[in-house]
Structure 1
Amino acid sequence: MAEATTVDLTTSVGANLPYLRRYARALTGSQERGDSYAAATLEAILSDQGAYDRTIAPKLALFKVFHTIWSSSGGAMADTDTGLASRAQAHLSRLTSGTREALLLHTIEEMPLTDLARVMDVPEDEAARLVDIAYAEMAKSLSGRVMIIEDEAIIALDLESMVAEMGHQVTGVARTESAAMDLAKAEKPDLILSDIQLADNSSGIDAVNRILEQHYPDVPVIFITAFPERLLTGDGPEPAFLISKPYTEEQVRSAVSQAMFFSSTETLKA
């Protein structure tokens, strides 16, 4: 019976681990740092299976253990950051406690306020308040230049409109890898918003990797894909910011604001 219980636990945790890793990376702005928190979550569950609440949905149970660890650490990132990363951390430290977590859970992970409150162990009205504050603070964030790599005209127009409404300048839209390289050379972006599969079967991953390696290594990147689990396998470099298709306006706005706080994004294997 104990063996069957362990197998069930492994299955339920494993099915939701990619989403925990996505959330942890967006929260910390780093693959390495986010994965460290995810690993600590798994270790906590293995050492004390009672920490994993089987009376609630598996994803909520996993995220709740994560938040216990995150809260106990003070939500701290590495204190060895320098340069842009250090300034980003200083900016984050001025935000209202709990607001970024609430916003990411509500938008990127699409948790209703009831589930969000359960994960963060706060009353539902407090969860709603944190999300509202996050939106208000997000609106005050610094504006920047955003480059869009997207081959579908309607989606590109939608993204361009959302980014502009947030107060950011769109440097342009590229439909292919070669066009993306030309656009990047013309003007340095503060953020790249990129689809994975582009026109003429070129790769958004390849385009981003070349831009980061040849020109702007510290520019944060948000990837958009219909299959996020394929980029969250734990094998090799993976994105810190990832939006699933079909996306919502809230997801895009949240991811753009979060990514602007950080200074670098790991490259990916195509």
Structure 2
Amino acid sequence: MSATPEATDLAQMIGAELPYLRRYARALTGSQQSGDAYAAATLEAILEDREVFASDASPRVALFAVFHGIWTSSGMPVEDGETGLAQAAQAHLSKLTPNTREALLLQTIEDLTLPEIATVMGVDDDEVRHLVDVAQREMADSVSGRVMVIEDEAIIAMDLQAIVADMGHAITGVARTHSSAVELARTEQPDLILADIQLADNSSGIDAVNEILGELGPLPVIFITAFPERLLTGERHEPAFLISKPYREDQVRSAVSQAMFFSSTETLLT
């Protein structure tokens, strides 16, 4: 039996938004596997009862609202038994005010408006504003460190340095190519890497990061790209933190705070 036009339209709407739901889930949980499990549960819930996918909201808001219902009903669990960076991340998470990271991610990374976030989370606009303020304060106060920038455009590199330095972090340096990035990381080991995808000599920022992490071990990484959906296909390991170009200052601040706070980025394999 062929799919109905309504079912086809719903599948297309959800398919267009799925990469961004997976990005949100990945950043929220710090794990591609865990994030995808929540995304899959969201799709299963919609398949079981299409009424949960609100027709009076935009497809993205409706999809994220279903996700949020599943996420909160699970108790937003902090798992035991982790080691190293993951263990430290979970320890930090357990101290956060409930729903603050969710609100901050939805506003700054997923670019939802306050009313849209209120719909997703089932609260009012004032509560969303309060949650975002609390998240920014808690994360800004929690961790500071040394940040390495991999970016071939001088103006963008200067802007990123200024934003990060204003947050209280130290800058280890700026690299424009794969080889210079690896050398800089060896010389001045960072606590966080902020990396473009396409570098000056047409080399890959992803390759550079993979080599650095292969030598230094796991470090939080934020990737910047004009085409985030190309890295959110589910066909390989994906970055926990991914900023779309052109970016806003509050997006960079949020991602840096989240990455420093969470410190659980896995190597992005090509």
| Alignment TM-score > 0.5, same fold | yes
What's the counterpart of residue 267 of structure 1? 267
Question: Which 4+ stretches in 1 moved above 3 angstroms?
Answer: none
How far is the alpha carbon of 1:76 from its aligned partner? 1.6
Q: Is 2:74 aligned against 1:73?
A: yes
| Contact 2:79-2:90 within 8 A present in 1 as well | no
CA contact (8 A) 1:25 1:33 kept: yes
Worse-matched range after superposition: 35-44 or 150-159: 35-44
Q: Does 1:202 align with 2:203?
A: yes
Partner of residue 32, structure 2? 31
CA RMSD of aligned residues (A): 1.3
Task: Report the counterpart of residue 42 of structure 1 in structure 2.
Answer: 43
CA contact (8 A) 2:178 2:208 kept: yes
Aligned mates of 1:247, 1:56 — CA distance in 2: 25
**8 Å contact 2:218–2:266 — kept in the other structure?**
no
Residue 25 and residue 77 in structure 1: after superposition, are their counterparts in 2 closer, same or farther (change >3 A)?
Answer: farther
Contact 2:219 2:264 in 1 (8 A): yes
Unpaired segments ≥5 residues, structure 2: none
Q: Could you state the TM-score of these two structures normalised by the residue count of structure 2? A: 0.96
Aligned-pair distance for 1:74? 1.3
Rounded to whole Å, the distance in 2 between the matches of 1:64 and 1:216 is 39
The match for 1:119 is: 120
Name the structure 2 match of 1:92: 93
Alpha-carbon contact 1:33-1:77 (below 8 Å) kept: no
Q: Which residue number corresponds to residue 228 of structure 2? A: 228
Counterpart-to-counterpart distance in 2, 1:95 and 1:262: 11
Superposition deviation, residue 217 in structure 1: 2.2
**1:212 and 2:224 are equivalent in the alignment:** no
Work out whether residues 28 and 77 of structure 1, in 8 Å CA contact, stay in contact via their aligned partners in 2: no
Name the CA distance, whole Å, in 2 between partners of 1:216 and 1:21: 27
Q: Which amino acid aligns with 2:261?
A: F
User: Where does structure 1 lack aligned partners over 5 or more consecutive residues?
Assistant: none
TM-score scaled by length of structure 1? 0.96
What does residue 55 of structure 2 align with? 54
Per-residue deviation at 1:201? 0.5
Evaluate the alpha carbon distance shift between residue 136 and residue 264 of structure 1 in structure 2; reply closer, same or farther with a 3 A threshold: closer
Q: Deviations over 1:86-133 (max 9, x none)?
A: 121111111111111000101111111010100000011111111111
CA contact 2:139–2:261 (8 Å) conserved in 1: no
Query: Equivalent residue for 1:157?
Result: 158
Instruction: Find the aligned partners of 1:263 and 1:125 in 2 and give their Cα distance.
Output: 30
Q: Name the CA distance, whole Å, in 1 between partners of 2:101 and 2:169.
A: 20
Whether 2:111 is the aligned partner of 1:110: answer: yes
**Structure 2 residue identity aligned to 1:226:** A
Question: What amino acid does structure 2 have at the position aligned with 1:223?
Answer: F
Stretch moving more, 194-203 or 48-57: 48-57
Given the alignment of the two structures, is residue 258 of structure 1 paired with residue 250 of structure 2, yes or no?
no
Q: Indicate if the aligned counterparts of 1:147 and 1:191 stay in contact, CA closer than 8 A.
A: yes
Partners of 1:112 and 1:263 in 2: how far apart?
27
- Distance in 2 (alpha carbons) for counterparts of 1:262 and 1:104: 13
Distance in 1 (CA, whole Å) between partners of 2:38 and 2:216 is 28
Listed one character per residue, the Cα deviations across residues 52-71 of structure 1 (whole Å, up to 9, x for unaligned) are 11111000000000000110
Identity %: 67
Conservation of the 8 A alpha-carbon contact between 2:218 and 2:267: no
1:145, CA displacement in angstroms? 0.8
Contact 1:191 1:220 in 2 (8 A): yes
